[in-house]
Structure 1
């Protein structure tokens, strides 16, 4: 395989990775910013129960969006591994594995959502039992995403490290992604340590910036040629 062909294949892989990353972002935004609050009311399982019964179709759309997050997260992890495995195998394995852990964490949330929909629309459970079970599963959903912040942060470390080390994407992209990973870890620890920190939500802002920058770069530019390939091309050009 020629170097040009290899580079074209890498760009194709990068754009497919970017597509799945974008799908993860879209399903996440729709799920949380559009549909989640329409069904799940924090601290109010009674109202959540009412919403699950009266807005069952909306609840199922929210569940399907959670499926979309799980699938797109898993595929993003797999394609990132494929993109980087040839030159950064250990880091690519770490990125892929930690990305798959993210998908498993979200799957726990999806299982809980499916359970509350079934409980809310069941004739075999009393109203009191429904409210209690919904409160439990709603807590699992919230904590799956909350504690999941540990691995949402961790998978950004190998991603940013590869970007910085390879120089095949902007170095500052890698730095911001790593900063975002640190922010996720600190934010999660602060929250579960019970510390009242009003700026806690802003700690994950670098991750949001970095991930959308990564999506855009993958989709529009793909990945740069390796430094060795670029130097060899410059030498060949100079010879002519």
Structure 2
């Protein structure tokens, strides 16, 4: 009876983790892929300034989605810690801490978006001053996400390790997640080393596959009892 109760609680924890992870994924796709480039035009701070003024409501949606990413990332890390801390305390702490660092990196981006919006709608009369400040914040946003790729990759290592070690989820899920972590690290290093490789964007593909696989598994199955493996 105690085993069944503990397993039910673990499944509940796993599914809550999956919900937060799903919210993080959806808000990330909407915020960074769908809405971001409607406002922030790479290499064109003048157009970005115009967008921040003329599309203010869209810019605010972009900012609120960044808030959603920060909150859901932090809560996903906390619930992953809760899920695995019983058997893998050190690894769970590592995943939790690195996941929080992810959230902090995105929070820097959120602060910069809010600052850019404030500058765009401020009383500063010199347009060139506004453009210069917008460019600075635009670069901070880009690099918060870019350099944040180091920890986007790092937090996948303990996640994949615990999946493989516990055997309470598919072993290949853990392997794909670890491969995704390697891809994020390599992709980030290549980008900031100034190396232009056509396949660089594909290095993070295993991470995307692994994370959505993880979300689906958490939501549908939760976590398997040890005896089933």
TM-score of the superposed pair, with normalisation by structure 2: 0.98
Give the Cα–Cα distance (whole angstroms) in 2 for the partners of residues 37 and 124 of structure 1: 25
The aligned counterpart of 2:53 is 53
Please give the per-residue CA displacement for 1:172-208, whole angstroms capped at 9, x wherever unaligned.
Answer: 0000000000000000000000001000000000000
CA contact (8 A) 1:66 1:110 kept: yes
The aligned counterpart of 2:104 is 104
Structural mapping, 1:77-92, within 5 Å: 77-92=77-92
Give the Cα–Cα distance (whole angstroms) in 2 for the partners of residues 226 and 126 of structure 1: 66
* 1:180 is aligned to 2:172: no
**Unaligned runs of at least 5 residues, structure 1:** 232-240
RMSD of aligned Cα (Å): 1.0
Give the Cα–Cα distance (whole angstroms) in 2 for the partners of residues 104 and 194 of structure 1: 25
The aligned counterpart of 1:29 is 29
The aligned counterpart of 2:214 is 214
Question: How many equivalent residue pairs?
Answer: 229
Give the Cα–Cα distance (whole angstroms) in 2 for the partners of residues 76 and 153 of structure 1: 15
Give the Cα–Cα distance (whole angstroms) in 2 for the partners of residues 222 and 39 of structure 1: 38
Structural mapping, 1:1-240, within 5 Å: 2-227=2-227, 230=228
Give the Cα–Cα distance (whole angstroms) in 1 for the partners of residues 200 and 125 of structure 2: 39
Give the Cα–Cα distance (whole angstroms) in 1 for the partners of residues 223 and 157 of structure 2: 18
The aligned counterpart of 1:236 is none
Following superposition, the deviation at residue 125 of structure 1 comes to: 4.8
Please give the per-residue CA displacement for 1:157-184, whole angstroms capped at 9, x wherever unaligned.
Answer: 0000000000000000000000000000
CA contact (8 A) 1:119 1:125 kept: no
Give the Cα–Cα distance (whole angstroms) in 2 for the partners of residues 140 and 118 of structure 1: 15
Secondary structure (helix, strand or coil) at the match of 2:218 reads helix
Following superposition, the deviation at residue 32 of structure 1 comes to: 1.8
**Unaligned runs of at least 5 residues, structure 2:** none
Deviating runs (4+, > 6 A) in structure 1?
A: none
CA contact (8 A) 1:163 1:173 kept: yes
CA contact (8 A) 1:95 1:158 kept: yes
Following superposition, the deviation at residue 34 of structure 1 comes to: 1.5
TM-score of the superposed pair, with normalisation by structure 1: 0.94
Please give the per-residue CA displacement for 1:30-85, whole angstroms capped at 9, x wherever unaligned.
Answer: 01222111100000000000000000010000000000000000000000000000
CA contact (8 A) 1:109 1:144 kept: yes
Following superposition, the deviation at residue 226 of structure 1 comes to: 1.7
Give the Cα–Cα distance (whole angstroms) in 1 for the partners of residues 70 and 40 of structure 2: 19
Secondary structure (helix, strand or coil) at the match of 1:51 reads helix
